[in-house]
Amino acid sequence: MPKPIFSGNGSDPAKNERFIRMTTAPVEKLVWSMALPSIAITMTTSIYNMADTFYVGRLGTSEVAAVGIALPLMTIIQSIGVFFGQGSGIYMSRLLGEQKTEKASQVAATGMITGFFVMLLMAVIGILNIDYLVMGLGATPAILSHTRDYILYILIAAPWMAGATILNQQLRLQGGAKMAMIGMVSGNVLHILLSPLFIFVFDMGIRGAAIAAMLSQFTSFIILFVYGSRRQGNISINFRHFSPSRSNYYEMFRGGVPSLMRQGLMGVTHIIINHFAGAYGVAAIAAISINNRIMLIANSVLLGIGQGFQPVCGFNYGAKLYGRLKKAFWYCVRVATAGLFVISLAMFIFAPQIVAFFRREDLEVIAVGARGLRLMALSKPFIPLVILCTMMTQSVGKALFASISAMARQGIFLLPSLIIFTRLFDLGLLGIQISLPAADLISFAMVIPMLINVLGKMKEEPSPDAA
């Protein structure tokens, strides 16, 4: 097994110490040291999304449906942030594994600055065309005004939301997961506290929930930018290091596209589902919205473990320590699968009670939501292998494999499943709900040969640039 070289440039003892820890410490301990802060971030993000649904649920079914219509937009905004954040962060982790800290600093600045201004431009275009945007997201006439009120403030917050996501990913992928956690969790907790204040005390209704989200995202961005990226041992964001070269953008594109595919297609799929569900009334949209928020809790554990694995994967791939990479990967698969099994079992058993927590007054929403939640729970234990395969291939620069596995569930299989079960089999709303677990199971079967191929070739491909 190749030995890591610790000399590097020697310019920052904290960075050398991090390199040694990432390439020599037990991988199980490393994964959890990175995963626990990431789980805290994703968990609190899920909780504030659920808290929003809970508070808005006190206003009415139409308001819950409006928040559900806005979810795809928020997913797409975050996918832009993840694209630039993971694209630059994954490249940074490999560079740090090779001890090229100066180059890593250029990549950090380029990813952050480019992503922020791309999202700013998209937000301005969205605000200028907000009526078309709201209708395009799937809003029905009954919830149009509520959806517009909510989405306006989400668009204003979009650059800060994407910026915070970029900084979070960059810090996490260079081994600074604890600082990333502090920045993101601070904003999430603030959102949970501000939502009821703006919604009920200030009597701002659904607009209050969006304003709380806007302020919380701005807070996370400031904490991560001013303090997080400048803490000793972390790569700081220095505007003088902005280096928009073709090679930098190519590597960011290669590392970020799988995340963009995974999350961006999720947003697109939610839009399509909203349009499909609109034919069955506001209660159907509200039930699907609640189910999506509930699933964020289950996914937060999986994503947290995967995000804990990625910096370990990137550093050790850059240092050519492939045995450590494989050991960390299979450990994460076992732990995540066991965790998702327990969570899915609880969701299946208590589905009616869970849905009723958000909209107790509407029996139709409870009935539709409970059925959908149970169907989604059936396939959840199969998802960890798919997600972790995507994250692993993404982290080692296998952009084609990562993109295919990222697109499998949300793009390649889910959209055809929706058409088959709703149109061909004429199952209506049940067809929408069946299509989700069907796509999960087919994706699981597809990634197995892909995974065998990538792991089997790793010894034969010592260069991280190998295709």
Q: Max alpha carbon distance in the chain (Å)?
A: 65
Tokens of 373: 């939640």
Question: In this structure, how many other beta carbons lie within 10 angstroms of the beta carbon of residue 165?
Answer: 28
pLDDT (tens digit per residue) in 309-350: 988 998 898 888 999 999 999 999 999 999 999 999 999 999
Phi-psi region of 8 (alpha: psi -120 to 50; beta: other; left: phi over 0): left
pLDDT (tens digit per residue) in 179-237: 888 899 999 899 999 999 999 999 999 999 999 999 999 999 999 988 766 666 577 78
To the nearest whole number, what is the mean pLDDT of the chain?
88
255 closest CA partner among 123, 120, 83, 102: 83
Angle at 101 between CA 96 and CA 103, to 5 degrees: 105
State the alpha helices, DSSP H only, in 408-428.
Answer: 414-419
* Dist. CA 49–CA 43, nearest whole Å: 10
- The model carries a pTM of 0.75
Question: In this structure, how many other beta carbons lie within 10 angstroms of the beta carbon of residue 269?
Answer: 21
Chain-centroid distance, C-alpha 78 = 7
CA distances in angstroms from 6 to 10, 94, 189, listed in the order given: 8, 15, 39
What's the average model confidence in pLDDT over 72-86?
A: 93
Cβ–Cβ under 8 Å, residues 183 and 217: no
State the alpha helices, DSSP H only, in 279-408.
Answer: 282-318, 322-349, 351-358, 363-379, 383-395, 399-407
- The one-letter amino acid at 439: A
pLDDT at 9: 44
DSSP for 114-171?
HHHHHHHHHHHHHHHTHHHHHHHTT--GGGHHHHHHHHHHHHHHHHHHHHHHHHHHHH
* Dist. CA 264–CA 277, nearest whole Å: 20
What's the average model confidence in pLDDT over 121-130?
A: 97
What's the average model confidence in pLDDT over 290-312?
A: 87
DSSP structural state of residue 381: G
Task: Classify 459 as helix, strand or coil.
Answer: helix
Q: Would the CA dihedral through 10, 12, 14, 19 be positive or negative?
A: negative
State the alpha helices, DSSP H only, in 174-230.
Answer: 177-196, 205-222
291 closest CA partner among 185, 112, 436: 436
Cβ–Cβ under 8 Å, residues 355 and 366: yes
CA distances in angstroms from 372 to 339, 375, 379, listed in the order given: 21, 5, 12
Phi, psi of 74 (to 5 degrees): -65, -40
Instruction: Please tell me the least confidently modeled range out of 4-13, 290-299, 316-325.
Output: 4-13
CA distances in angstroms from 70 to 7, 118, 190, 312, 446, listed in the order given: 50, 20, 20, 34, 31
pLDDT (tens digit per residue) in 408-449: 877 789 888 988 998 888 898 999 999 989 999 999 999 999
Angle at 266 between CA 270 and CA 384, to 5 degrees: 130
Most confident of 144-148, 253-257, 318-322, 457-461: 144-148
* Dist. CA 198–CA 291, nearest whole Å: 25
